[in-house]
Chains A and B, each alone.
Chain A
């Protein structure tokens, strides 16, 4: 076989390892008895660790493969590591939860691995076709995972809603890709850039294409007004799936948005910026305001995830300014890490409190947690403070970085909206804290080592990494997008 094919395969080796492992796991799982699905979970985690090792052994290189279809650079590696870590956290959250809610199936872990491989591919994709393929590869397992609690009606409803609307969003993405192809004669980002630099593109088509791609990916990352599915799906899906989805799908979606927009579409930034501006503003306002009214913790976190997508999108707004775009990418990546850690800390607590038949998910169920389970309550408090952006948490550093990027880009109004909606968010995040510590109650808590470990590791990470955030920021800043 030709040499560059080997090189290409080498480039995406982590994904191949993960996908092959997932396929094998599917077979192995057949021989694992239903009561021992912990083995499947452990094997899935091992697969993630092996993949992680493969990536870590090749850090710092950047290579493209398959004729420029994929680009494995620091950016992609950063995301892959984030996604693999999220996968590990998701598995830690899942095993006990699935078992006690009676929905543990071996396929669960396999689907998780497939979805992660799709997300990793999304980070590497440097061709619009590849973006689409990756999007489907990550979405289809997620659709199934959302509905894995069948025959619970909520879960089924979540899956079908996610699937139908997701299919539409994919349609937008494909259509946008087609229009961009029509505008530039190529789907490869590198070639699109060349055509644009040579001035041979069709601006109207490019704009329309970029708009459609924004809609398609905006759906995945849940920015308003393409966020409508989020609360229903987050609530209906099993909590462990939601926790993973909230991080993974968002990270992957933003990876694609960043790569496509920062590299290929600076030329349309003049038209794109107002749209990004208003979408980000709308998302922050809507997400935060609606979260106030929520009484169910899953819905609350769903809206909060929408709001955070708005904050990240805010960083993307000045993507067209060449002196800020590097910061756009870095701050978005950094915030994704902050969000992921915080998110897992919060969801670990949510899952620990969730009872069968979706009980234990109301905010009032958290009353008295501060007295009965001080450690869990502390983890939740850290998560809520980090979501709000209060120092010393990673959320603060992340938001600081985002706001700085936006102000550097000259969007004072947007930064103000961001700051003020953060204030609104304090209202509902702190309410959780107040309920935990200041109201009397007898919360029922599930004791599980992995859950606790996830909660504590994440929340300690949220605090510790904020104090020693230097290396993480350096990593995020080094994850600059490569074109060739």
Chain B
């Protein structure tokens, strides 16, 4: 039998598919409606059978493991409570489906509405049949989405779209909050299924996060069930077609929240927090809805507010957690669903037939539409809580709960007061609906609103629930209904509940209260012409629309504010990153604020002869870096920067680490030369523009940037400081190399040994990288220039020296003394390089420095003689070949090591092997050959760079024009887009 649980949903699915299939065929709306109504009706029958056949009333369950590892499953669950809701949904759903057919009789695309409606119905049915909280949530959001489609059915109507969005925003949002609560519950209990959750009440109630769970669940339920102040979406959702309103906003969707609370009551209820939360919100909603409803002129709005009022009552009842409250709950749910759907449907008929829903215009329709009037009268009186109708019973039991002795004293006064007041107001509304529409003389007798009875199927839909409302009251107490309701209440209450449906329960306090309510209500109704205008004129609407709008506007404003952060400025992005980093490190307390008090290592304080030099170099480094910032001529700034590098080199030399110092010096010099040369390639205008942009900053901007720079610098300095404080004083690697350099690599110079022997393979790759950099720069500049159509000077051909005027860098004249120096420098550099190559294995210096030395000398030629003259004077300089020979030599050298020795690049001493007479201290080893190869490759790479950067460039008109444009329009595209 459990397997049959899937049947109701499947039946609805068939209905949906049929509705979609009808899209392509011309089927008359009424016929389609009857065809479709079969399916929810069948589902109703199926559910009724399941409930009736389930003799022992234990819940039916069906579960399909969806994602077992996540504890997710798709499961269904049918007990008294879900049966009550499910029967209401399918029963009223069938009626509404038929009704819609007539309502959309002239609409060709009624299939669209019907498919939405059936989808919604399926989602709603799934919601109440869900067997675990995740399935519940999925269907919950399903109802939010499908109700969005229904409310916004008239897509061309702006108001409908707004109302639909509002409903979706509030209920969908509540649903997501609810998901957090449900997840929370599920994880606490260890299972998502109801069986575990409902029996895990004690664990949940004693959990420290119980208030959070409850709050989240209540938030979801309250938004869905339109509890004040989240009730604001419901009146606006009345833009939906009336059949949808009748279904969604009376019988089903708005009750989903009530269902959720009733369902979870055994798990979460029976606490003070539960009681107060539900009671207060419920009562507030009850009175707000009743009061607002009395003011309305629009029939649907009137019904919407009275619905809100009843929802409040239901929520308050659940909060009380007494047996009688749950009896009242189930009776009220049923009674309300019956009369409210009938009322909505009759309101729809009136609107459909007369074209108006305005109380001020309608009147006297009873004669024209007798059946509709009958249904409306019965239901209206039921809403008013008058005997002998079902609504009377509902109100009586509600009032009975209020005098239950188990309640705290304040509620003993408050609850009856609210119920009586709301009852009176509802009676007034019932009177308005019934009398003013159907019986009163029209407001404008000369032009009465005309209408006539619709086709029978249309008035049948409200008639059926109306008759049931009457039958329950008039006929002898239906035993099966009472026991069914008792089971429903028990499922929600957690223990047995006695339900009797007898109207007359003797003269008691509830009856007395009821009498007060009826008499007050009658008074309100009689005096409605005086009271309602006053209410409409003076008392607030409580629509909270400004609050809702303000929330959305606030969100928008916040978003725009955040967007303003996105201003397109790189330096701003970067400073945010830096500040964030600072905060993170501060959070870690990784910044040692105690460094001020820390005792510096004693070696730092000892003053020896070198200390003065150290202080000097440090201050030189700092000073030159500082100067770099303030020098506005780029050339000077580069020179100042190079001073900083040199100062560092001196510091390294003092360590003493001559090898490293040497490399630092030559690289610093080479970098300076390259920078200076590359400056000449930039168009003059571009350089000026760059300078202008750099220094255009406002004073506060400069200050801010300065602070950020200073902060970042300090941060790095501190990090270095702590790493120095904490690192081992003795390097772990140094002793190994010190011991093994000579025996294994035959070198006294450890650095040299590491470079060409121990890490020879790395060095090999490094020269490849260096050479590639040279090649890359060549390709980039060469081809970029060619593509841009620059007028490159033709390759200078070697020829008579005087052919080109000798001018230095940037076409400036240079002095003969400098020429002399340059002539002397090149051979000297070669000499130095050879010495370094030969003795580098034992002394500071190596192939790299040798290569850079020569490159430096050549670089000075470029600076002094200019590009053309240099090219003519050094015709042997072919960078590409140098690179190729260097790399090839290194490769062959390494392979020879594999051939003769123990492996690739294994140390070999050819001088020894061949017994060559070599000068002392010079070994013709493959280390030497490797150094030569390095020297060649480095020379090739470096001169490639020099050659390309040293090549003068003609005026580039295009880029100048571009700069001009940038100058005129200082903001970039993106900046303007973000604002």
CA distance A169 to B570 in the complex (A): 13
Interface SS of A by simple majority: helix
B residues less than 8 Å from A415 (CB atoms) = 180, 183
**Which of B152, B155, B176, B212 sits near A412, CB closer than 8 Å?**
B212
CB of A397 within 8 Å of the partner chain: yes
**Which of A175, A294, A423, A470 sits near B176, CB closer than 8 Å?**
A423
- Check if A271 sits within 8 Å of B587, measured CB to CB: yes
CB of A457 within 8 Å of the partner chain: no
- Check if B165 sits within 8 Å of A434, measured CB to CB: yes
For chain A, residues 393 to 407, give those with C-beta under 8 angstroms from any C-beta of chain B. Answer: 396-397, 400-401, 403-404, 407
B-binding segment of A5-13, A95-103, A203-211:
A203-211
B-binding segment of A29-37, A227-235, A443-451:
A227-235
**Which of A204, A228, A470 sits near B576, CB closer than 8 Å?**
A228
Distance (whole angstroms) from the CB of A420 to the closest CB of chain B: 7
A residues less than 8 Å from B560 (CB atoms) = 293
Q: Chain B: which residue is nearest A210 at the CB level?
A: B588
B-binding segment of A80-88, A109-117, A157-165, A308-316:
A157-165
- Check if A292 sits within 8 Å of B577, measured CB to CB: no
CA distance A426 to B148 in the complex (A): 13
B residues less than 8 Å from A363 (CB atoms) = none
CB of A137 within 8 Å of the partner chain: no
B residues less than 8 Å from A416 (CB atoms) = 180, 212, 216
**Residue-by-residue, is A467-484 near B (CB-CB < 8 Å gives 1, otherwise 0)?**
101100110010000000
The CB with the most chain A CB atoms within 10 A, among B176, B565, B587, is that of: B176
A residues less than 8 Å from B180 (CB atoms) = 403, 415-416, 419
For chain A, residues 211 to 229, give those with C-beta under 8 angstroms from any C-beta of chain B. Answer: 211-212, 214-215, 219, 225-226, 228-229
- Check if A392 sits within 8 Å of B587, measured CB to CB: no
- Check if A165 sits within 8 Å of B577, measured CB to CB: yes
- Check if B179 sits within 8 Å of A390, measured CB to CB: no
B residues less than 8 Å from A422 (CB atoms) = 176
CB of A39 within 8 Å of the partner chain: no
B residues less than 8 Å from A473 (CB atoms) = 67, 69-70
CA distance A217 to B180 in the complex (A): 30
Distance (whole angstroms) from the CB of A79 to the closest CB of chain B: 20
B residues less than 8 Å from A205 (CB atoms) = 590, 722-723, 726
CA distance A205 to B70 in the complex (A): 38
If A423-B173, A473-B69 touch, whether A219 touches B577 (CB-CB below 8 Å) is yes
- Check if A404 sits within 8 Å of B187, measured CB to CB: yes
- Check if B573 sits within 8 Å of A165, measured CB to CB: yes
Q: Chain A: which residue is nearest B904 at the CB level?
A: A1
- Check if A391 sits within 8 Å of B138, measured CB to CB: yes
If A165-B570, A391-B141, A412-B184 touch, whether A157 touches B588 (CB-CB below 8 Å) is no
For chain B, residues 534 to 593, give those with C-beta under 8 angstroms from any C-beta of chain A. Answer: 555-556, 558-560, 562-563, 565-566, 568, 570, 572-574, 576-577, 579-581, 584-585, 587-590, 592
CB of B168 within 8 Å of the partner chain: yes
Q: Chain B: which residue is nearest A228 at the CB level?
A: B573
- Check if B177 sits within 8 Å of A211, measured CB to CB: no
For chain A, residues 289 to 322, give those with C-beta under 8 angstroms from any C-beta of chain B. Answer: 289-294, 296
A-binding segment of B47-55, B911-919, B971-979:
B971-979
B residues less than 8 Å from A215 (CB atoms) = 577, 580-581, 584
CA distance A183 to B566 in the complex (A): 37
The CB with the most chain A CB atoms within 10 A, among B161, B177, B560, B588, is that of: B588
For chain A, residues 426 to 461, give those with C-beta under 8 angstroms from any C-beta of chain B. Answer: 426-427, 430, 434, 437-438
CB of B405 within 8 Å of the partner chain: no
**Which of A175, A390, A426 sits near B173, CB closer than 8 Å?**
A426
CB of B145 within 8 Å of the partner chain: yes
A residues less than 8 Å from B589 (CB atoms) = 207, 271
CB of A194 within 8 Å of the partner chain: no
Q: Chain B: which residue is nearest A164 at the CB level?
A: B570
- Check if B176 sits within 8 Å of A419, measured CB to CB: yes
- Check if B183 sits within 8 Å of A289, measured CB to CB: no
Q: Chain A: which residue is nearest B566 at the CB level?
A: A231
Distance (whole angstroms) from the CB of A268 to the closest CB of chain B: 8
- Check if A427 sits within 8 Å of B555, measured CB to CB: yes
Distance (whole angstroms) from the CB of A419 to the closest CB of chain B: 4
**Which of B187, B716, B726, B977 sits near A202, CB closer than 8 Å?**
B726
- Check if B568 sits within 8 Å of A232, measured CB to CB: yes
If A208-B590, A208-B719, A423-B173 touch, whether A293 touches B563 (CB-CB below 8 Å) is yes
CA distance A423 to B216 in the complex (A): 13
CB of B504 within 8 Å of the partner chain: no
If A182-B726, A215-B581, A291-B559 touch, whether A208 touches B588 (CB-CB below 8 Å) is yes
CB of A38 within 8 Å of the partner chain: no
CB of B68 within 8 Å of the partner chain: yes
Distance (whole angstroms) from the CB of A382 to the closest CB of chain B: 13
CA distance A408 to B71 in the complex (A): 13
CB of B72 within 8 Å of the partner chain: yes
- Check if A211 sits within 8 Å of B570, measured CB to CB: no
Distance (whole angstroms) from the CB of B418 to the closest CB of chain A: 32
- How many A residues have CB within 8 A of the partner chain? 75
**Residue-by-residue, is A179-208 near B (CB-CB < 8 Å gives 1, otherwise 0)?**
100110100000000000000001011011
CA distance A169 to B574 in the complex (A): 10
CB of B101 within 8 Å of the partner chain: no
CB of A286 within 8 Å of the partner chain: yes
Distance (whole angstroms) from the CB of B826 to the closest CB of chain A: 37
A residues less than 8 Å from B577 (CB atoms) = 165, 168-169, 215, 219, 225-226, 228
Q: Chain A: which residue is nearest B580 at the CB level?
A: A225
If A226-B580, A426-B172, A477-B69 touch, whether A154 touches B587 (CB-CB below 8 Å) is no
Distance (whole angstroms) from the CB of B564 to the closest CB of chain A: 10
**Which of B70, B168, B209, B580 sits near A400, CB closer than 8 Å?**
B70
A residues less than 8 Å from B584 (CB atoms) = 211, 214-215, 275
CB of B727 within 8 Å of the partner chain: yes
- Check if A408 sits within 8 Å of B592, measured CB to CB: no
CA distance A437 to B160 in the complex (A): 14
If A204-B590, A423-B177, A473-B70 touch, whether A154 touches B974 (CB-CB below 8 Å) is yes
For chain B, residues 945 to 979, give those with C-beta under 8 angstroms from any C-beta of chain A. Answer: 972-974, 977
A residues less than 8 Å from B559 (CB atoms) = 289-293
If A205-B722, A207-B588, A219-B577 touch, whether A390 touches B67 (CB-CB below 8 Å) is no
- Check if B722 sits within 8 Å of A204, measured CB to CB: yes
CB of A129 within 8 Å of the partner chain: no
CB of B169 within 8 Å of the partner chain: yes
Distance (whole angstroms) from the CB of A468 to the closest CB of chain B: 9
For chain B, residues 167 to 225, give those with C-beta under 8 angstroms from any C-beta of chain A. Answer: 168-169, 172-173, 176-177, 179-180, 183-184, 187, 209, 212, 216
Distance (whole angstroms) from the CB of B394 to the closest CB of chain A: 35
CB of A274 within 8 Å of the partner chain: yes
For chain B, residues 56 to 86, give those with C-beta under 8 angstroms from any C-beta of chain A. Answer: 66-72
Which B residues form the contact surface with A (CB < 8 A)? 66-72, 134, 137-138, 141-142, 145, 152, 155, 161, 165, 168-169, 172-173, 176-177, 179-180, 183-184, 187, 209, 212, 216, 555-556, 558-560, 562-563, 565-566, 568, 570, 572-574, 576-577, 579-581, 584-585, 587-590, 592, 716, 719, 722-723, 726-727, 732, 972-974, 977
9 contacts between A and B (CB under 8 A): A208-B590, A225-B579, A296-B977, A389-B176, A391-B142, A404-B183, A412-B184, A419-B176, A470-B67
Closest 4 pairs (CB-CB, A-B): A293-B559, A228-B573, A208-B590, A292-B559
Which A residues form the contact surface with B (CB < 8 A)? 153-154, 157, 161, 164-165, 168-169, 172, 175, 179, 182-183, 185, 202, 204-205, 207-208, 211-212, 214-215, 219, 225-226, 228-229, 231-232, 235-236, 271, 274-275, 286, 289-294, 296, 389-392, 396-397, 400-401, 403-404, 407-408, 412, 415-416, 419-420, 422-424, 426-427, 430, 434, 437-438, 467, 469-470, 473-474, 477
Beyond the given A400-B70, A403-B183, A430-B168, could you list 10 further A-B residue pairs with CB under 8 A, ordered by the A residue number? A161-B570, A202-B726, A208-B588, A271-B588, A286-B562, A292-B559, A404-B183, A415-B180, A426-B173, A437-B155
